[in-house]
Structure 1
Amino acid sequence: MEGIKRKPFQGVMNIVRFNWHFYVLSMGLLIAGLFFRHLVPVQLLLWLLIASSVLSLGVSWYIYDVSRLYQLRWLDGLNVRTNGRIVNINAGFDETSHLLAHKYPEAQLRVFDFYDPAKHTEVSIERARKMYPPYPGTEVVGTSAVPLSHASTDIIFLFMAAHEIRDGRERKIFFEQLCDALPEDGRLIVLEHLRDPFNFMAYNIGFFHFFSARTWKEVFTLAGLSVEEERKVTPFLSAFILCKNGTTS
């Protein structure tokens, strides 16, 4: 987005900083494997480990540093009110509120953080929170007590955050509240990695941390939401444009 620039390699460096324990473990395994390099199976495992790490970092660099993800142009053309009331919800790490404030300068922006260290135990999020301060005015909320009244919000954004709600019942309650907060012409925009072949190739078993498109659509349906449109921001990221059931344009 013009006017707001990210540092070179900011995205992939954040991944390394937030998940350094994985790379330390990989390095330890690599060093140990060198002592047994005469064993063919060990050599094969070493090459697989190296290839997997390089591939995941390469894909992450493409997504978070090379693609136009943070320019937010993929939001253009949506049938939404851009001068109304918008809410951006994160799970403890917020890279997008300042971008949304820049993209929609006439809107009234509220920012929610639902991170709960007792429920959401990702160590990477804890590290991210220590390195990056929250957006000014961020409100800490609970997933079962989102402070939005009925039909009060024109657009709600959830960028790579909702998958941190691991419990199915908790997700349902959370999305029901967001659905209730939307007016008939409101929209909920959910951006997520999916548990699909692209993300498996990129992140190996790490793709199990994501949910499938089918799982997300079941959650949306149970909450009273319909998928108006699904956009591929990159081959590895999907955006679901949601509205209340019966209000699809």
Structure 2
Amino acid sequence: MEERKNGTMELERKSFQGVFNILSFNRHFYVLGLCALALLIISHATIEFSDQVFWIIVIAFLYGLIMPLIVSAYVYDFSGYYNFHWLKNSGIDPNARSIVNINAGFDETSFIIKSNFPQSDLKVFDFYDPKRHTEPAIIRARKVSLTYPNTVEIKTSIIPLEDNSVDIIFLLSAAHEIRNYKEKVVFLKECYRICKPSGKVVMIEHLRDFPNFLAFSIGFTHFFSRSTWKSAFIKAGFGTFDETKFTPFMSVFNVEP
């Protein structure tokens, strides 16, 4: 991390940082998976059963452990996600003045947003609630996350800004941490309330779809389907809901009032 001339700080990502994050934040899954694999190997040495079945199970275990790391390296380390290359196709006004970035306690994007919109008034909010958002991965992520200056902790039901005051609201790989559908709608209603009629919400998410099933196996249930997100945005009052694929595994949603 280095200090910039304008007094802010910018995050310098290390090589394969996305993979290291996945390993670190989800290490409980990998420990359990490796233990289960070890037990399988021991049982095969002591109990007679088909070699074919044994190797099918071993390959399935290895696939489930390794494939998420390969996909994560592709998405987070090699696709340009943190270079914001996807912004070029989002129709975002580069001169937008009022910008909000909302995270779930792990913020890797606010410094980057500020570097892309240096003249903007960027406000950062963190909706993490330890009573509601209990995923072990996000708890670990919070311990190593950088905090953008003047980040405000909020509840998902209240964003402390005036009506129709924001040009762009960024929800970057964060909104899926709101697990309850009703809470999602309440949160998106707040986004709708503060968004200018000419503004937009830019959300990036993995989806609960076939490519992400291939990538994360049962872990794809941590994400939500396109239809779930569309329904929640429409119930919140938004009128336009456009999706652009950013890699086969992530979607950029441009949502407007």
Does TM, scored on the shorter chain, surpass 0.5?
Answer: yes
Q: Distance in 1 between matches of 2:226 and 2:15?
A: 31
The verdict on how the C-alpha distance between 1:93 and 1:237 changes in structure 2, with shifts beyond 3 A counting, is same
The root-mean-square deviation of aligned C-alpha atoms, in Å, is: 1.5
Partner of 2:34: 27
**How many residues of Structure 1 are paired with residues of Structure 2 in the alignment?**
242
For structure 1, the residue ranges without an aligned partner over 5 or more in a row are 245-249
Partner of 1:7: 14
TM-fit CA distance, 1:70:
0.7
User: Is the contact made by 2:16 and 2:73 (CA closer than 8 Å) also made in structure 1?
Assistant: yes
After the TM superposition, which of the residue ranges 119-128 and 39-48 deviates more from structure 2? 39-48
2:208 is paired with a residue whose SS is coil
Alignment of 1:243 onto 2:243? no
1:23 is paired with a residue whose SS is helix
Q: Distance in 1 between matches of 2:57 and 2:96?
A: 54
Deviations 1:212-242 (A, max 9, x none): 0011100111111133531111110001101
Partner of 2:7: none
Report percent identity of matched pairs: 43
User: Is the contact made by 2:96 and 2:168 (CA closer than 8 Å) also made in structure 1?
Assistant: no
Partner of 2:87: 75
1:52 to 49, 53, 64: 64
User: Is the contact made by 2:157 and 2:187 (CA closer than 8 Å) also made in structure 1?
Assistant: yes
TM-fit CA distance, 1:4:
6.2
User: Is the contact made by 2:239 and 2:256 (CA closer than 8 Å) also made in structure 1?
Assistant: yes
Alignment of 1:140 onto 2:153? yes
1:39 to 45, 49, 55: 49
Deviations 1:75-117 (A, max 9, x none): 1251436331000000010100010000000100000000000
1:83 is paired with a residue whose SS is coil
After the TM superposition, which of the residue ranges 29-38 and 10-19 deviates more from structure 2? 29-38
1:217 to 230, 244, 257: 230
Amino acid at match of 2:69: L
Amino acid at match of 1:76: K
Q: Distance in 2 between matches of 1:71 and 1:135?
A: 18
Amino acid at match of 2:107: D
2:76 to 56, 61, 64: 64
